[in-house]
Amino acid sequence: MAFLGILMLDTRFPRPLGDIGNPATFEQMQIPVRYRTVQGANPQKVVRGSAALALQPFVAAALDLVEQGASMLSTSCGFLARYQRELQAAVPVPVISSSLLWLSSPELSGERCAVLTIDAQALDAHQLAGVGADSATPVGGVAPGCEFQRRLLGNEPTMDLRQAGQDVVAGALALVKTHPEVTTLVLECTNMPPYARAVAAATGRRVEHIVSLLEKRWRAAA
């Protein structure tokens, strides 16, 4: 049976329901999923370091999942958007590297989009260019050093999920306050979907993320 293959960073932090790394996230959508961890690809290295060093292991993991029967691939870090083209060229199945692909999708062509990321200082034109998105897209992040950012980038085994949710909502509210013209928020971080409903309720905006994109693409390919 074909399945969705997900290339995982080498992490140990909690993954609540809705997170791309929680199998139950896809089980409730009846999407078969299989994971492959890329050893040594930790959050700090991919988000703030030299992601180029981690690219080849991701390609090898992607090819392994395809050999096992994956009919679509994704990753557990939105910052790999900068390597969308390279990853896609390496495998014969669709690659959805990041939720940032929403920015160049026909579905959002009439929307005014902004990106909420785990680290606004680290997300730059390279990630946006990698998925063919407008370099002028507004970008905002969670507060530097907050629970959500510190626990994930530090790859810590525990996290206050309630506080993490509040951090994500606060980042979203700050973003739409700065850019009130925005109609749709795209959550870059694959660990943000558990809080998407709270963000939508707090901001009054449409909210999209990696899980919503994968569900849409998987249904379309079925």
Residue 180 buriedness (CB in 10 A; 0-12 / 13-18 / 19+): exposed
Q: Say if CB 65 and CB 34 are below 8 A apart.
A: yes
Half-sphere exposure at residue 186, Cβ-oriented, CA atoms within 13 angstroms: 24
* Of 199, 214, 207, nearest in space to 101 by CA: 214
Per-residue model confidence as pLDDT tens digits over 86-112:
999 999 999 999 999 999 999 999 999
Q: Give me the chain's average pLDDT, please.
A: 96
R_g over Cα of the chain: 16
Identify the band that residue 209 occupies on the pLDDT scale cut at 50, 70 and 90.
very high
For domain 100-209, the CATH class is: alpha beta
* Of 133, 114, 127, nearest in space to 206 by CA: 114
Per-residue model confidence as pLDDT tens digits over 166-196:
999 999 999 999 999 999 999 999 999 999 9
What was the pLDDT predicted at 115?
98
The residue ranges of every structural domain in the chain are: 3-98+211-221, 100-209
pTM here is 0.96
Q: Say if CB 43 and CB 152 are below 8 A apart.
A: yes
Q: How far apart are CA 196 and CA 198, in angstroms?
A: 5
Question: What CATH fold (topology level) applies to the domain 3-98+211-221?
Answer: Rossmann fold (3.40.50)
DSSP H helical ranges for 28-183: 43-47, 52-68, 84-90, 125-130, 147-153, 161-178
Percent helix, strand, coil in the chain (nearest 5)?
Answer: 45, 15, 40
What was the pLDDT predicted at 160?
98
